[in-house]
Amino acid sequence: MADTAEARARLCDPRAEVSAHWLVHEDGRTEALVPEDRRAWHAGAGSWRGRDDVNSRSIGIEIANPGDRPFPLAQMNAVVALLRDVMARWQIGPQGVIAHSDMAPGRKIDPGPRFDWQRLAQEGLALPGGQGPDLPLADSLTRIGYPPVDPAIRLAAFRLRFRPWGQGAECAADRRCAAFVAAFLAAAEDGVGV
């Protein structure tokens, strides 16, 4: 959507059959659209960690941005504050914060390469990137949770989140980053080092 007003109109239009629990405006205001204990229609077709129907088991946050510009500081500050609150209310760890592009690779690209995932990771609100051993990419992406789609589409989705500057064919930096994220996720699930 071009701006918050257009996004809000679409999210509140019953004919659009799309909604979200929260809308974060460009100026940092947050607006509740659907109660968190109700199902919103934000995720659409896709899966994460082998489970479909992401709508029924997630809180959807729409961040107004057309995708062709950076996210304003006030908006990112609001996203951080909102995530902290939602994650505390529902006992969600950083491994539970995903992008639309993560669960629907090839179909969705939001929030896109300009979203500040690194800041969320530094705040403990999302999985961090890093460099691990050079392991097979497909295995690491499966352990992280990416759905089984065409390898190039999965790589593109992973890069949107962890290596937005990456281009071309799979490389050692992709494999090492994915191995790091998979190991971090495994440690978080085991309660080690988190």
CA distance 113 to 168: 16
Name the residues annotated as catalytic: 62
SS3 letters for 50-64?
Answer: CECCHHHHCCCEEEC
CA distances from 66 to 13, 111, 112, 116, 189 (A): 19, 9, 10, 15, 34
* Cis status of the peptide bond prior to 111, with omega within 30 of 0: yes
* Element containing residue 30 per DSSP (H, E): strand 30-32
